[in-house]
Amino acid sequence: MKLGTLTGGTETQNVTGFAIDHRKVAPGTVFGAFEGARVNGEDFIPQAIASGAIAVVARPEAVVEGAVHIAQDSPRACFAEMAARFFAPFPPVTAAVTGTNGKTSTVELTRQLWRMAGHHAASIGTLGVTTADERVTTGLTTPDVVTFLSNVAGLAREGVTHLAFEASSHGLSQYRTEGLPVRAAAFTNLSRDHLDYHKDMAEYFTAKLRLFAEVLADDGTAVVWVDDPHADRVLDLARHRGNRLITVGEHGDTLRLVGRDPTLLGQGLTIEADGAIHKVNLPLIGAYQAANALVAAGLVIATGGAVAPTLQALARLQPVRGRLERAAIARSGAPVYVDYAHTPDALEAAIAALKPHAAGKLIVVFGAGGDRDPGKRELMGQVAAARADVAIVTDDNPRTEDAASIRREVLKGAPGATEIGDRRAAIAAAIAQAGEADIVLIAGKGHEQGQIVGDMVLPFDDVSVARECAA
């Protein structure tokens, strides 16, 4: 493909690929040089050109010698648009999900519902690239734009027609998911997270709103969980743009949650839609899992699914890895659940989901990650102290911070909690003290297969450790 085809100009150089890492540049590559939080890509322009970059997308003031300088005030956006033209075509039906909690579950549940409707579907997010028969881990909620678009184009070549993906605040603010025909976009909820990256909650929310303000197609559909206090902003945006609206929740107009009755292994849902009442036995526990499932149903309906069959298909959904996943049964008979909850709101939601099922005590093992928003640590401690019967504070992913210092900050909110720094020992202690009527919740890492200590990733899987301790 000629460079001019991508820029709209007359350049005749052949483009062979795109890169934002100068170490991945090969002859014919278009290099994106962006200012980052820690590294300025403009510093590596000479190395990229030496490796064969034929063009550099960068700010007008960047110094580019020996290659075409595509000067843009918003180089990330320009680079993403060019890369999308290069990698296209993509699956014709794509849906994006944003929000603080529930993105991973919602995109995966959407994929499952599409598959049950007979579509060749896939999802991309924290769990990786998931299709009906394989999973490729990416390691990021939203990978870099080159990896993302390459993966999506690859899925299209494999015959995938329906794609659901997570749109994180980082990914939206850094234009990592541009160029796709986004037919439907969903908002789950908003609470404190990622304030190590965004300067405040307003900036964090603004980043998420980009999905509805700019990324969603003009004729696309916004699916909104309207029971969240921040939903009105999303609704206003969708109405301003003239998008179709699907509202979901207890106050929803499209899918109204009339009743929710916890059962031993799930919950019975009563949903009003199209003037009819639908009864569904959802095989997932917890109010927030019901919310994720209904938002997923909204996305399927937004992309052409019929209401009644979509709602009935909720009864056949499978649990999502690391999201209130029942990992083991202790010798006492106590079930042990693993959940990714790593924010105050998510931890509170996970505890609230399990509490009705615990005839005895709810024992919670949790911690907080290092090199992330420190303000949420004490808040997480407060949630555990107020909601759990037994709280055990342990290490999450300390990264480059001192693990003991992180635990001390968490313990400020839960002064009566037990402190066990070693995560395996903490899980073992929780399971050992659990009685027949108790439930154990291991929160914070969910599906993760490693624990980040310093610059090392040590093998650690909460599910596997829970099973070993239970045995």
Which residues are annotated binding-site positions for meso-2,6-diaminopimelate? 372, 396-399, 444, 448
Q: Name the binding residues.
A: 99-105, 141-142, 168, 174, 176, 372, 396-399, 444, 448
Residue 381: alpha-carbon gap to chain centroid: 23
Render the burial of 3-42: b for 16+ CB within 10 Å, e for the rest. beebbeeebeeebebbbbebeebeebbbbbbbeeeeeebb
Cβ 94 vs Cβ 183: under 8 Å = yes
Q: Which residue has the tokens 């300067």?
A: 199
Tokens of 197: 């990256």
Peptide bond into 89 cis (omega under 30): yes
Task: Find the distance separating the first CA and the last CA of the chain, reported in whole Å.
Answer: 58
- Angle formed by the axes of helices 201-210 and 231-241, nearest 10°: 40
Neighbours of 432 (CB within 10 A): 13
Q: What is Dmax (Cα atoms) for the chain?
A: 73
Q: Order the strands of the 390-393 sheet from edge to edge.
A: 325-329, 335-339, 439-443, 362-366, 390-393, 418-419
Rounded-to-integer distance, Cα 69 and Cα 71, Å: 6
Give the C-alpha distances (Å, rounded to integers) separating 111 from 121, 145, 279, 313: 6, 21, 22, 12
Residue 427: alpha-carbon gap to chain centroid: 25
Cβ 187 vs Cβ 99: under 8 Å = yes
Q: Name the binding residues for ATP.
A: 99-105
